[in-house]
Amino acid sequence: MQYENLLIAIEDGIAVVTISREKALNALNTRTMTELGHFFGEAAHEIEGLKGIVVTGAGEKAFVAGADITEFSSLSPEEGMLFAKRGQDVFFLIERFPKPVVAAVNGFALGGGCELAMACHLRVAGEKAKFGQPEVNLGLIPGYGGTQRLIQYIGKTKALELLMTADIIGAVDAHQLGLVNSVVPSGAEVLNARELIEKIAVKAPFAISRIIESVNAYFEEGLDGYWKEVDAFGECCGTEDFKEGAAAFVEKRKARFQGK
């Protein structure tokens, strides 16, 4: 698929995905959501030697300022449900991606933008990043998982406050609340996100994929997270990486994992 609104740059095994609709503050229109779905559902799985993915926004002002309001201002209830479901499915592809996905939040992360950042496994925020779920200003609620994931990160008390007041918070507050992993100088978001991926990339890749699956299982209806962990632990025991990790410990050397 030819991307119009995503720029993909792969360097040293890290793919940087830049949402590139700067004039609309990188708002997520249907085309962009389709491209994200294609990338995380298909293209990224084909990248040889991929260590992880950074998601960011073009320009200095916005990560993503939300879903594209011009596209959904006249949706019927049925169309609205379809829109939200399709968006949620795309964000599940990100959340369930087997390698680390880090949001490098370089500005406004509002509405669907905050939801996109929350679907990533980790979030690095620049000092000027701003987060919020302002949908109630439009007569809406979040539709891309915001009511569910915000609770997971910051708890019900603060989540309800942000969702109902539409307050926009800065990077430091987002960090204190547990919404982001770290706050870095503006302009250094992608670099720091890359460093985080490099740090994870020396660990056993199969085990990392099972960490993602097991943690996600805690929040998925119908799944027993403890049983998922038992199952995944057993799978890890059958890997070459486990043999290598244990041997390296005994031999007092660094492990060289192959992801097998």
The residues near 73 (Cβ < 8 Å, ≥ 6 apart) are none
**Sheet with 101-105, edge to edge strand ranges:** 6-11, 14-19, 52-57, 101-105, 122-126, 182-184
145 in contact with ligand CO8 (CB under 6 A)? no
Q: DSSP character for 144? A: S
Q: Which is nearer to ligand CO8, 15 or 110 (CB)?
A: 110
Contacts of 242 (CB under 8 A, 6+ apart): 204, 207, 236
Identify whether 235 is a catalytic site residue. Answer: no
Neighbour-count burial of 35, counting CB atoms closer than 10 A to its CB (0-12 exposed, 13-18 middle, 19+ buried)? buried
Region 65-124 residues binding ligand CO8, contact defined as CB under 6 A: 65-70, 72, 80, 83-84, 87, 108, 110-112
78 annotated active-site: no
Q: Distance between CA 26 and CA 243 in Å, rounded?
A: 45
Nearer to ligand CO8, 81 or 202 (CB): 81
Selected binder of ligand CO8 within 6, 15, 25, 117 (CB under 6 A): 25
Sequence-distant (≥ 6) Cβ neighbours of residue 24 within 8 angstroms: 65, 68
Which residue of 37, 126, 142, 205 would you call a contact of ligand CO8, by CB under 6 A? 142
Least CB distance to ligand CO8 at residue 154 (A)? 18
The torsion of the CA quartet 228, 231, 234, 235, rounded to 10 degrees, works out to -90
Residue closer to ligand CO8 by CB (options 2, 70) is 70
Q: Is 162 in the site for ligand CO8 (CB under 6 A)?
A: no
- Name which of residues 167 to 196 contact ligand CO8 (CB under 6 A): none
Positions that interact with ligand CO8 (CB under 6 A)? 24-25, 27, 65-70, 72, 80, 83-84, 87, 108, 110-112, 134-135, 138, 142-144
Known catalytic residues? Answer: 115, 135
